[in-house]
Amino acid sequence: MKSGWIKKYTNKAPLLGADTDVYTGKVSWSKTQLDNMIGAALQHKGKIIEIAGVGNYWQSDTLQVEIGSTKKSFVSRRLKKQILSENKFLIIKETPNKFLCYFANSIKKDPNITVVPVDEKSIGKWFTLEMKAGNLAIAYFYTDKP
Amino acid sequence: MVAIIWSLTSQGSGITDLDHGSLENGESSDIANVFLRHDGNNAITDCSFYFQAKTGVYSGAFTAAADFAEIRGWGDASVIADHGGVQINMDPTNNTSYNVSTWDLDESTKATAVAFTMHTGTGDSVNNSVLLNANMSANMNINGEIPVGAEAEFMVRWNIPSSEDAAGARQITQTLQFTYTS
């Protein structure tokens, strides 16, 4: 899959949502299984963002279109996971082509990861991992809604 | 991917551009009513407008960058003779005819809750995009969100400053930014 998302489940094989299939209506994030998810990933221009761990997930894209045009372009792409009470620490593992986030209730020293405590106020909110479509810059933040 | 359709009539065919005609100094164009709809399975959210320099092939009298800077400058001007530019009104039900007072925009008031003149900081870049107002459709309940099957409407017009002294066609591109989940 050149670009698109992947849904990972506890009870079935991963579901691929290649952009080409999403465009033609063959697959849809919102109309395929949303429960029993254990992770999700998104690939764009060879870079991967991924969130791992049990929970509720969502995916969205920000696009733009000029008046009179049918051609749309990506502005940014997002993966989201709803924060659970046991998600005490955000763990980030970054390599040149992959930005992986997962949550843990305890931490151990590892020079290859970044650890960010999760504020208790974030429980129930949506952890959002965003990749800018142009320069592939990555940011993360919390939102109230998916 | 979700399709966005711009039309000049409700549920009409998609347009490829919007020509506001030829205007003299101090004149305003006719108001163009533009309809906006999509074919997504879910609502499109965080919808906002912004303007940018003409993209694609430029066929104006100057350059795309010069046109954009000039038009934004018309909007920036606080002297009535120098003020003008492109205006968007997102409250079509309450503003059905050209009348400055009903649009509530002038050289001092460059933006209201439902309308704006493109100027520095408002509608002049993706970072300054203006959220679509829910008054654009009876089916819009949230600013920036066009539900499935809904059609939004807005009005656009041009004002040429009375002090403008360079004749020639200007071009600019209006862009819709939105968020969508398949």
Tens digits of per-residue pLDDT, A37-88?
A: 999 999 999 999 999 999 999 999 999 999 988 889 999 999 999 999 999 9
**B142: which 2 tokens?**
């949230």
- Separation in Å, CA of A56 to nearest CA in chain B: 15
Q: Residue B61: how many CB atoms within 10 A of its CB?
A: 13
Task: Give residue B99's pLDDT band: very low, low, confident or very high (50, 70, 90).
Answer: very low
A29/B14 CB distance under 8 A: no
Residues of A in contact with B176 (CB under 8 A): 64-67
Percent of chain A with pLDDT over 90: 85
Confidence grade of residue B77 (pLDDT, cut at 50, 70, 90): very high
pLDDT value at residue B19: 87
- Is residue B1's pLDDT more than 80? no
pLDDT digits (tens, 9 = 90+) for A112-126: 999 999 999 999 999
What mean pLDDT comes out for the span B18-36?
Answer: 90
What is the average pLDDT across B149-172?
92
Chain B residues touching A70 at Cβ < 8 A: 3-4, 14
Report the mean per-residue pLDDT for chain A.
Answer: 94
Measured over the CA atoms of residue B176, residue B126, residue A51 and residue A96, the dihedral's sign is positive
Q: Does the beta-carbon distance from B175 to A64 stay under 8 Å? A: yes
Q: Span A81-96, mean pLDDT?
A: 95
The residue that leads in pLDDT, B19 or A18, is A18
* A129, pLDDT greater than 60: yes
C-alpha angle A35-A40-A45 in degrees, rounded to nearest 5: 150
Query: What confidence score (pLDDT) does residue B176 get?
Result: 97
Residue B66 touches partner A, C-beta closer than 8 Å: no
With a CB cutoff of 8 Å and minimum separation 6, the contacts of B121 are B128
In Å, how far is B5's CA from the nearest CA of chain A? 7
| Arithmetic mean of pLDDT, B59-74 | 96
For residue A101, give Cα distances in angstroms to A11, A80, B118, B153, B160: 21, 11, 40, 41, 53
Torsional class of B102: left (φ above 0), alpha (ψ -120 to 50), beta (otherwise)? alpha
Annotate chain B with DSSP letters as a single string.
---EEEESSTT-PPPS--------TT-BPPPEEEEEEE--SS-BEEEEEEEEEPPSS--SSS-HHHHHHHHHHHHH--STTT--EEEEES-GGG--S--HHHHT-SSS--B-SSEEE-BTTBSSSGGG-EEPPGGG-TT--STT-B-TT-EEEEEEEEE--TT----S---EEEEEEEEE--
Q: Smallest Cβ distance to B6: which of A17, A63, A68?
A: A68
Contact across the interface for A31 and B6, Cβ inside 8 Å: no
Q: Tell me the mean pLDDT in the region A30-41.
A: 97
B14, B177, B178 ranked by CB distance to A70: nearest:
B14
Task: Select from B4, B42, B181 the Cβ nearest to the Cβ of A65.
Answer: B4
Can you tell me the distance from the alpha carbon of A79 to that of A88, in angstroms, rounded to the nearest whole number? 19
Cα separation, A115 vs A94, in Å, equals: 12
Asked if B181 and A31 come within 8 Å (Cβ–Cβ), the reply is no
Which pLDDT value is given to residue A97? Answer: 94
Q: Is any Cβ of chain A less than 8 angstroms from the Cβ of B55?
A: yes
Per-residue pLDDT band for B73 (boundaries 50, 70, 90) equals very high
Is residue B97's pLDDT more than 70? no
| Facing residue for A62 by CB, picked from B41, B46, B173 | B46
Q: Do B17 and A68 touch (CB under 8 A)?
A: yes
Task: Find the farthest-apart pair of alpha carbons in chain A and give their distance in angstroms, rounded.
Answer: 54
| Cβ <8 Å between A29 and B179 | no
Closest-CA residue to A130 (of A51, A69, A54, A68): A51
d(CA B4, CA A64): 10
CB contact under 8 A, A68 and B14: yes
Token pair 């299984």: residue: A33
Q: Do A63 and B17 touch (CB under 8 A)?
A: no
What is the pTM for the complete model shown? 0.92
Say whether pLDDT at A34 is over 50.
yes
**The pLDDT of residue A68:** 85
pLDDT band at B98, cuts 50/70/90? very low
pLDDT score of B100 more than 90: no
Judge whether residue B121 has pLDDT over 90. Answer: yes
